[in-house]
Amino acid sequence: MSDQIPFLFDIPSVTELTGKIKNILEQNFNDILVEGEASNVKQSANGHIYFTLKDSGAQLPCVIWRSTVQRAGINLTDGQQIVVGGDVQVYAPHGRYQLIVSLVQQAGIGKLQQAFEELKAKLKAEGLFEDIHKKALPKFPSRIGVVTSKTTAAFQDIRSTLEKRWPLAEIKLFHASVQGVNAAPEIVQGIEYFSSQKNVDVVIISRGGGSLEDLWPFNEEAVARAVFACEIPVISAVGHEVDFSISDFVADTRAATPTQAAVIATPDINEVRMQVEDLLRRVELNTKGAIQYYKDRVSGLAKSHALLAVQQKMNQAASEIQRLTDRLTYQTESLQKNRLRKLAELQHRLDKQDPNGPLEKGFVRVWQGDKWIRTATNFNRKAPLDLEWKDSKLSLK
């Protein structure tokens, strides 16, 4: 019996077989959608993004060409649950097929909810939610970092609340997308920037309310781990009061709304003023009381029965007692003056920071919309404006 294969038909070469496979796949699998988890995300020097889309049973090599990356502004990270669209392409030299991606979106709500619960359980088991890791917020922050989009209502709420409540603080904004596939990487960059620079006392990460899909960037594992690793205290203010995100559980403090985040982060300047005034009165009373106490004590000692029995010795000591009394009075009065001067300086600094101080002196404040126009460059000559005095407002169209 012969071991040779009978040549009843032409046997294709590897190139020919691969060509047939290429034609079948590329003709039948174009403009398709597929869902999975992004992993091994790498961007080449020429700008292309290579990654693997996977689930529990299989993996699919994917590539996003530089032109698509630039046009759509795509920025992927490992672990994102996404839906991608594109065409299957066979690369014959390597006998390998891959998906040429032209569209990237977040995965569906059901999958997101499952991913949320799984990540929450995973991070909780690792101890990222434990109170022992929570850092205390500073009592009097002088610099506050905010990671959010500069165009959102959340940032406007935070800024306006801080300007009214604690105008002594400087606000530093790190602009980041708060929705879509680019949001999570940009939020991570903002947190890591403030953590590495250490140029703020507290960091607020925030956005307004929305669906689970809208809030999803704050449920990404990369964001959660950046919050946990941040060396600056972090306040998470994502969505409305009923919304919870993974970043809320990991952050040092959770705020129900962006406005509440500004309230939690700062003291009320009016309350501080009242505390300073109360302390000033207490210092005055205590100092005057101490002076009178020691005067009465010295006077009482001078008239006591024991001193009268040793009148001769007291006569010798009288001059010394007077000297000590004068010295005590001088030191006590000096201490009082120093304390009053320091408190007056603090009161003066607080008064200078009062945003309504200029109005009390007769100045006028210019508003356009809900913005206080502080410089000529910010004034829109074509837009309506409001003039504010200390006792009234006037609208000019």
Of 322 and 171, the one with more pLDDT: 171
Contact call for residues 128 and 224 (beta carbons, < 8 A): yes
Percent of the chain surpassing pLDDT 90: 44
Place of tokens 């209502």: 153
- Model pLDDT, residue 181: 86
What is the maximum alpha-carbon separation in the chain?
147
Local confidence band at 286 (pLDDT 50, 70, 90 cut-offs)? confident
Element (H, E) at 277: helix 269-302
Number of helices (H), then strands (E), in the chain = 12, 14
Tell me the pLDDT band of 302, cut-offs 50, 70 and 90: low
Does position 9 have pLDDT exceeding 70, yes or no? no
Q: What confidence tier does 388 reach under pLDDT thresholds 50, 70, 90? A: confident
Residue recorded with tokens 């530093």: 172
Residue 160 confidence (pLDDT): 95
Six token digits for residue 172 = 């530093």
Among residues 285, 280, 248, which one has the least CA distance to residue 116?
248
- Residue from 229, 228, 248, 227 nearest 237 by CA: 248
Strand partners, 365: 388
Q: Could you tell me whether strands 234-238 and 365-368 are parallel, antiparallel, or unpaired per DSSP bridges?
A: unpaired
364 has a pLDDT exceeding 80: yes
Residue 112, classed as helix, strand or coil, is helix
Q: pLDDT band at residue 277, thresholds of 50, 70 and 90?
A: confident
- Specify whether the backbone of 135 is left (phi greater than 0), alpha (psi in -120 to 50) or beta: beta
CA angle at residue 242 from 238 to 244, to 5 degrees?
45
Most confident of 75-79, 266-270, 356-360, 381-385: 266-270
- DSSP codes, 42-110: EE-TTS-EEEEEE-SS-EEEEEE-HHHHHHHT----TT-EEEEEEEEEEEGGGTEEEEEEEEEEEPPHH
Per residue in 13-29, pLDDT (tens digit) is 899 898 899 899 888 89
Please say if the pLDDT value at position 177 is more than 90.
yes
Closest listed residue to residue 206, CA positions, set 171, 164, 163: 171
pLDDT in tens, 194-204: 999 999 999 99
Nearest alpha carbon to residue 183 among 222, 239, 210: 222
Q: Which residues are CB-neighbours of 170 under 8 A, at least 6 positions away?
A: 142, 143, 144
- Among the ranges 20-29, 151-160, 209-218, 277-286, which has the highest mean pLDDT value? 151-160
**Residue 207, beta-bridge partner list:** 238
User: Of 357 and 150, which is predicted with more confidence?
Assistant: 150
213 vs 91, which has greater pLDDT? 91
Do β-strands 49-54 and 59-64 pair in parallel, antiparallel, or remain unpaired? antiparallel
Tell me the average pLDDT across 280-291. Answer: 82
Contact 178, 149 (CB under 8 A): yes
CA distance 137 to 40: 37
- pLDDT, mean over the chain: 86
> Is residue 52 pLDDT above 60, yes or no?
yes
Q: What is the model's pLDDT at position 3?
A: 60
For residue 72, which of 92, 98, 101 has the smallest C-alpha distance?
A: 101
- Which of these ranges, 101-105, 123-127, 173-177, 306-310, has the smallest mean pLDDT? 306-310
Residue 393 has pLDDT above 90, yes or no: no
Q: What is the mean pLDDT of residues 347-373?
A: 74
pLDDT confidence of residue 242 = 74
CB 180 within 8 A of CB 282: no
What is the token pair recorded at 197?
Answer: 């620079």
Q: Other CB atoms closer than 10 Å to residue 320's CB: what's the count?
A: 9
Query: In the predicted model, what is the mean pLDDT of residues 194-219?
Result: 92
3-state helix, strand and coil shares in percent for the chain, rounded to the nearest 5: 45, 20, 30
What confidence tier does 246 reach under pLDDT thresholds 50, 70, 90?
Answer: very high
3-class state of residue 171 by DSSP:
strand
What does the pLDDT look like over 231-243, one tens digit per residue?
999 999 998 777 7
